[in-house]
Structure 1
Amino acid sequence: MKIDFLTLFPEMFQGVLNESILKKAQEKEAVQFNVINFRQYSSNKHQNVDDYPYGGGAGMVLTPQPIFDAVEDIRSKGDTEPKVILVCPQGERFTQSKAEQLAKEEHLLFICGHYEGYDERIREHLVTEEISIGDFVLTGGELASMVITDSVVRLLPGVLGNEDSPVLDSYSSGLLEHPHYTRPADFRGLQVPEVLLSGNHKLIAEWREEQSLRRTFERRPDLLKSYPLTDKQKTLIKKWENEN
């Protein structure tokens, strides 16, 4: 996968893209990152990329010319048409399902803006998708694009050491992930559940499924509205509701 970032602050990406899983993904040649300062595409002699909004109002608005030229240049040099993603509070809410969809793409291009907003023509004529990571506002799109990138890249084949890891993540199955334990079995009198020490893989799988369901019931019951519950799971939920 190739991922391009159009930004006015390329230095923000250095630490995140060159550490942990994202660094390993590059070393495995699963992904290639390209961070571009779109100010270099400005045709203005002062390399300005923003201006006052028509109609008045607070703040500055990113002008279309530098971003249009940058996207067109990237398209002309690539073998594949990039999915152009605008990260903004008005976009579709980012989910694990969306991460799985994006992980199937060959080329992603993030537009990271600052100031009051974008010229609407950028949104209407360049952008493939608009994505928001939550109902809050950030200073710019850089942090949001890095969050999305981390979530997507870890799903690429061969990036994680265990191929089952992304499949078992919270939200991938539709439920929150079950609890995890490791050594020692007894820590300050706090015991690991006996079933996990039993060696009985069938019972362990059943315990994990039930714990995953219960954690979702207690913390994110909204997820259960669209989850295909079995009769056994419905019975468990009814039992927990009665306990409460």
Structure 2
Amino acid sequence: MRVFMLINTITNVCKAVVIPLLLGFPIAVIAYRMELWPMGVSFKIIKYTGYASIAVLAVSILIGLFTLFKKQYPLAKRCAFIAILSAIPAIGLSMQASKAKSLPFLHQVTTDTVNLPKFNAIIALRGDNSNPLAYDQEKLAPLQLAAYPKLKPILSQLDKDQAFAKALEVALSLGWEVVAKNEQQGIIEAVDTSALWAFKDDIAIRVQALGVSSKIDLRSISRIGGTDLGANAARVEKFITTFSDK
């Protein structure tokens, strides 16, 4: 009897905390977007609610199996319900952790790791706490090449002016905010804002003449965060694909 009283108490505690754990992620996102606290606080909320969810999931599964074995079906059903709810943030954290481990620790990528497209107008828009624009070629280039071998310059049969116009069209079609454009220099600077977190990542596009054809290079860098979880590479790859398909 005492065992089931203890089990019932533990189950009630798990039930009481599972809803707040589910709300951890949306609260973290909303509070960050409302500028109630910095990104680091939101990440800690997600991290620790994820850990707590894993603990609740494990406890509810163990108690559920025990009560099922003891034919305490109402209690077993409660545990199953708690396990399902706690699995949502637990799985979310596990997936993010797995993705982070599978990708290099990068927050910027470029199609030209030797002579990077340069930012000018966007520099004034980047806050004091933004990631530095400096590029450690010896360290970062091999990581990028191993993880994202498709990130290469676009070699187009269009002349420079035509390629510039097309690059601008593609950037706008992808929803990027064009901050500056200089057709003579062949430079386009843009900002891409993520839908969920409203992260702002900066993009530089450089169009160079190659005789009667042209070469297009891109650089994409996150303003905050040590790793971008592949977001910048995906952005550049999407531009390359869209440019080639148009």
Question: Normalization by structure 2: what TM-score?
Answer: 0.24
Structure holding more helix per residue: 2
TM-score (norm 1): 0.25
Greater Rg by CA? 2
